[in-house]
Structure 1
Amino acid sequence: MGYSEPGRTVDSQVTSLPSEITIYGCGEDEAVLFRALAPRFGVLPTITEAAVSEANAELATGTRCISVSHKTQVTDRTLLALSRVGVRYISTRSIGFNHIDVAYARSVGISVGNVSYSSDSVADYTLMLMLMAVRHMKSMLRRADAHDYRLPDRRGRELRDLTVGVVGTGRIGSAVIDRLRGFGCRILAHDTRRGTSVRYVPLDELLHESDIVTLHTPLVADTRHLLDRRRIAQLKHGAVVINTGRGALIDTDAIIPALQSGRLAGAALDVVEGEEGIFYHDCRSKPIASTAVARLQEMPHAIISPHMAFHTDHALTDTVENSIINCLNFANGR
């Protein structure tokens, strides 16, 4: 489950090379930054709010490098259309790139790169979710919204009394561990590569010993449904699960009954299987397409947020800048 991420490096020769980059799926705040930062690198950006698709691939005609959002699946037909108009490099504005078939992209002559951004954004959010889960904040806030200010029946727990298991110790997982040390809790870690000074244990042992399990490993074939029915059954009774990685790291069909039965005391999920087409959309006036997302949202001890742990101004600046740098490094043969 080891993971390496790109650094913020750019060849000194690159900044003198005028380049064009087509930026797809660009929100208003991103567009402001692209327009401000691109000229500093000698880059001319073509910006569109529309997600990249087979229908609008022609916008990139004559552009070797494009930047795409992680919010929309990039289909194989889109990749083929991009290749036909001359695109040779895609920089996704995300750490993960499970929304792109990288092998297929390579087969049609397109390289794919991801970006690094402030690991503090996700690490801070992860700690917030932990604290909210062990202090039962979802049910408490619901009651307060209804002007019921009685104390909850269940008392909260303090992190210093708990064991926290961190699965995946790359930049984000290590940043989470750094924060946990300040709370005085016992910390266990699992990863195929050891990246920080903490006790590493096999995954089964981590699940059995931890009061809180937090996931920070990328989604690849080997980690899909990392927490499946068998592994969820290994968790300590009354454990809490945190996921700010990717939704499919957890088998939703397995975690829902564990929450319903009380086997799990709580879950705080910034990412959920089936979030596509729901997260980042206003669904107030229509039914939720995913039964799993709807059921989790109804549970008083399941906190759901719309894949937003990365959503800080600092992380956005990093993302935009590193997207530009990725494209320039590719253009310079790096």
Structure 2
Amino acid sequence: MTFSSTSSVPPPSPLLPATRITVYGCGRDEAALFRRTAPRFGVEATLTEAAVSEENSEMAAGNQCISIDHKTPVTPATLRALHRAGVTYISTRSIGYNHIDVTYAAGVGISVENVTYSPAGVADYTLMLMLMAVRNAKSTVRRAELHDYRLNEIRGKELRDLTVGVIGTGRIGAAVVDRLRGFGSRVLAYGKRPTIAADYVSLDELLRSSDIVSLHVPLAPDTHHLLDQSRIRRMKRGAFVINTGRGPLIDTEALVPALESGRLSGAALDVIEGEEGIFYADCRNRTIESTWLPRLQKMPNVLISPHTAYYTDHALRDTVENSIINCLNFGSRKQHG
């Protein structure tokens, strides 16, 4: 199995019937793009806001390809039901695919691919979170909202005076490194395979030396709790941690006491463990079923946002178009393979 997306596809032949795709978990903004984009590629798209499930798998009957969102885990039962409905290909509208067991999917005859989209949105957002963290933005804005305009006793820091450690130098990590150069920061990088011109060091050295640690690796068994209690203890005292990757990259149970004790100066988290069923929902009138989220949100040195770093006009266009292209290319490979 490969996990990649292409950026071009030959136009559909007028002699071939239109490709049909069922699009699950399709929000209104995505729906408008699918309706505008699909006809350009000779595709008929069936759209539903409902996440893919065993119960609605029959919506895909007759369609080999489906497109799914990243917000809801795909269960083995759902994969079996999709197989019975005739689905042989899933395009997930995300870079990460930890919400689906691709090995199990392959076992029931379903291929899975992710999409790529512009890394600029996540990279820009990461730099914004870094700046907000080191300038104590949460505390400053909250005080101003209460008409307390005194200077905070904790002064901010400048990025040019800080060492930033970037863990993972794929497309997004590389874009973050590129932006940091413009701020004059010293940048350290860690990755299994050096892919960019950067000062690559061991993970231990990066943690010991970095004033800011930013996470940009995919979630996999070997990266789950990449920042665990042991590694958090090895981080430079007073450091900040930024996570725009996946929540379980950090052991939240170890992170919270490090923040509360002052061992770490702060965190900016666009993703957290256990966000499923909370992020992307209106929780104003319900109890948050999370041990750590309310505790983190009360801290003046912790910024939380709801997995929104990727969410830009440009990235959404890329995601929709590349999901369609993935399905067409899969159909072409099946036809000519």
2:96 is matched with: 96
Matches of 1:204 and 1:68, distance apart in 2:
37
Matches of 2:205 and 2:12, distance apart in 1:
48
2:264 is matched with: 264
SS across alignment from 2:183: coil
Matches of 1:321 and 1:15, distance apart in 2:
18
What letter is aligned with 1:19?
Answer: T
Query: Over residues 156-190 of structure 1, what are the superposed CA-to-partner deviations in whole Å (9 max), with x where a residue is unaligned?
Result: 00000000000000000000001000000100000
1:61 is matched with: 61
1:28 is matched with: 28
8 Å contact kept, 2:6–2:326: no
2:19 is matched with: 19
Matches of 1:298 and 1:114, distance apart in 2:
35
When normalised by structure 2's length, the TM-score is: 0.96
8 Å contact kept, 1:121–1:309: yes
2:7 is matched with: 8
Unaligned 5+ residue runs, structure 1? Answer: none
Query: Over residues 177-227 of structure 1, what are the superposed CA-to-partner deviations in whole Å (9 max), with x where a residue is unaligned?
Result: 010000001000000111110110000000000000000000000000000
For residue 9 of structure 1, report the CA deviation from its aligned partner: 2.9
2:161 is matched with: 161
Q: Taking structure 1 as reference, are residues 207 and 264 closer, same or farther at Cα in structure 2, changes over 3 Å only?
A: same
2:113 is matched with: 113
8 Å contact kept, 2:3–2:112: no
1:220 is matched with: 220
For residue 150 of structure 1, report the CA deviation from its aligned partner: 1.2
What letter is aligned with 1:201?
Answer: V
SS across alignment from 2:151: coil
- Residues 104-253 of structure 1 mapped to structure 2, 5 A cutoff: 104-253=104-253
Matches of 1:328 and 1:211, distance apart in 2:
45
For residue 4 of structure 1, report the CA deviation from its aligned partner: 7.4
What letter is aligned with 1:189?
Answer: A
For residue 5 of structure 1, report the CA deviation from its aligned partner: 4.3
Q: Taking structure 1 as reference, are residues 106 and 309 closer, same or farther at Cα in structure 2, changes over 3 Å only?
A: same
SS across alignment from 1:328: helix
For residue 7 of structure 1, report the CA deviation from its aligned partner: 3.4
For residue 14 of structure 1, report the CA deviation from its aligned partner: 4.5
SS across alignment from 1:311: coil
8 Å contact kept, 1:242–1:268: yes
2:82 is matched with: 82
Corresponding position: 1:280 with 2:274? no
For residue 13 of structure 1, report the CA deviation from its aligned partner: 5.5
What letter is aligned with 2:81?
Answer: A
Structure 1: 4+ residue segments shifted above 4 A? 13-17
For residue 135 of structure 1, report the CA deviation from its aligned partner: 0.2
Matches of 2:192 and 2:97, distance apart in 1:
20
Tell me the C-alpha RMSD between the 2 structures: 1.2
